[in-house]
Amino acid sequence: MQKVVFQDLGRIRYQEAWDLQEARLQEVVGRKLHNRSQRKADKPEIPQSHYLLFCEHPPVYTLGKSGSLEHLLLSEADLKAQGFEFFKINRGGDITYHGPGQIVGYPIFDLDEFFTDIHKYVRYLEETVILTLASYGITGMREEGYTGVWLEATAQKPKRKICAIGVHLKRWVTMHGFAFNVNTNLSHFEHIIPCGIADDDKAVTSMEAELGYTVDIEEVKTKLRTTFAQLFEYEYADARAMKQPTTKTH
Cα–Cα distance between 60 and 62 in angstroms, integer? 7
Cα–Cα distance between 97 and 77 in angstroms, integer? 18
**CA 121 to mean position of chain CA atoms:** 12
* Nearest CA-CA partner of 21 in 114, 120, 89: 89
Cα–Cα distance between 246 and 218 in angstroms, integer? 36
Cα–Cα distance between 24 and 239 in angstroms, integer? 12
- Residues 195, 203, 220, 224: which is the catalytic one? 195
Annotated active-site residue 55? The verdict is no
Whether 140 and 133 have beta carbons less than 8 Å apart is answered as yes
Cα–Cα distance between 142 and 158 in angstroms, integer? 14
Cα–Cα distance between 176 and 40 in angstroms, integer? 31
Cα–Cα distance between 110 and 57 in angstroms, integer? 25
Cα–Cα distance between 131 and 121 in angstroms, integer? 15
Q: Which residues are catalytic?
A: 195
